[in-house]
Amino acid sequence: MSPVIEWLQQSGGLSAEQLAWILAGAAFLENIFPPLPMDVVVAYGGYLAGQERLPFWLAWLTTLTGGWVGFMGVYFVGRNIAKTQLHQRLLTGRIGDGLTKAEAWFQRFGYGAVVGNRFLAGTRAVISLFAGLAGLSWSWVALGALGSLAIWNTLLLVAGYKLGQDWALVAEWLTTYRNVMMGALLVGILVWWKIRQW
């Protein structure tokens, strides 16, 4: 179980506003440190709403805002790196060819990746960073990320809300989903690479 959830379970006296800030922070950090299991914290926010610890709309709004600010923050880091000498050195260095191809791919398909980013487990921080590096329009990236987050967080919060005491099942579902998605992504990359070799 996430240390954040363990801490929340032991901190029964927190106000709705304090819980909202914690949920927003968790949603933000998940974009900066992708290995952190913060989707589970979002689902737990739904459970807390079901227990009337905070309003559902507040859990939804704060997780949406925190996740969106985190995603866009990484996007702007990528956008600013693209304007630096570091980026030019990377392009001429050992990884330059791969980086150039990745940026070209994002210039063609990046908006679709942004819209689907919440559903592509383990790739969110990479998608936001490369969307910035590829110079995608910040307004379209912002809208795509917001839409993706709105749908994903609604699903997680509703699941936590409806499951009640069994909210932890969401963690099992997310683990299975993440494994399936990562497996499918690896197979897709291998198939694409093989096709390119022919």
Is the model's pLDDT at 93 over the cut of 80? no
Average pLDDT, the chain: 85
- Structure confidence at residue 86 (pLDDT): 61
The first and second tokens of residue 69, run together, are: 């600010």
Nearest to 160 by CA among 70, 34, 63: 63
In this prediction the pTM is 0.83
Per-residue model confidence as pLDDT tens digits over 123-145: 777 889 889 988 899 999 999 99
Per-residue model confidence as pLDDT tens digits over 168-189: 888 888 888 877 887 887 887 7
Is the model's pLDDT at 149 over the cut of 90? yes
